[in-house]
Amino acid sequence: LVSRKNKPEDSVVNVLGETIGDGKQRIIAGPCSVEYYEQVDAVAKAVKEQGGKILRGGAFKPRTSPYDFQGLGMEGLKILRDVARNYDLAVISEIVNPADIQEATEYVDIIQIGARNMHNFELLKEAGRTSKPVLLKRGLAATLSEFMNAAEYIMSQGNGDIILCERGIRTYERATRNTLDISAVPILKQETHLPVFVDVTHSTGRRDILLPIAKAALAIGADGIMAEVHPDPAVALSDATQQMDINQYNEFVSSLKQTYPEL
- From the list ligand PEP, Mn ion, none, pick the one residue 137 interacts with, judged by a Cβ distance below 5 to 8 Å according to partner type: ligand PEP
- Answer yes or no whether residue 94 interacts with ligand PEP by CB under 6 A: yes
From residue 13 to residue 52, the character string flagging contacts with Mn ion as x (rule: CB under 5 A) and all else as - is -------------------x--------------------
Chain positions 121 to 140 lying near ligand PEP, rule: CB under 6 A, are 137
Distance (Å, whole) CA 30 – CA 227: 7
Q: How far is the CB of 117 from ligand PEP (least distance, A)?
A: 8
Say which residues have a Cβ less than 8 Å from residue 83's Cβ, sequence separation at least 6.
37, 40, 41, 44, 55, 89
- Answer yes or no whether residue 202 interacts with ligand PEP by CB under 6 A: yes
Q: How far is the CB of 9 from ligand PEP (least distance, A)?
A: 28
- Answer yes or no whether residue 167 interacts with ligand PEP by CB under 6 A: yes
Spatial contact of 227 and 212, defined as CB atoms under 8 Å apart: no
Q: Out of 96, 239, 245, 249, name the contact with Mn ion by CB under 5 A.
A: 239
Q: Based on CB atoms, which residue is closest to ligand PEP, 26 or 137?
A: 137
Spatial contact of 225 and 187, defined as CB atoms under 8 Å apart: no
Q: How far is the CB of 94 from ligand PEP (least distance, A)?
A: 6
Residue 196: strand, helix, or coil: strand
β-partners of residue 104 are: none
Q: Using alpha carbons only, give the angle 27, 176, 116 rounded to the nearest 5 degrees.
A: 70
User: What sign does the CA torsion over 10, 141, 245, 210 have?
Assistant: negative
The footprint of Mn ion (CB under 5 A) covers 32, 239
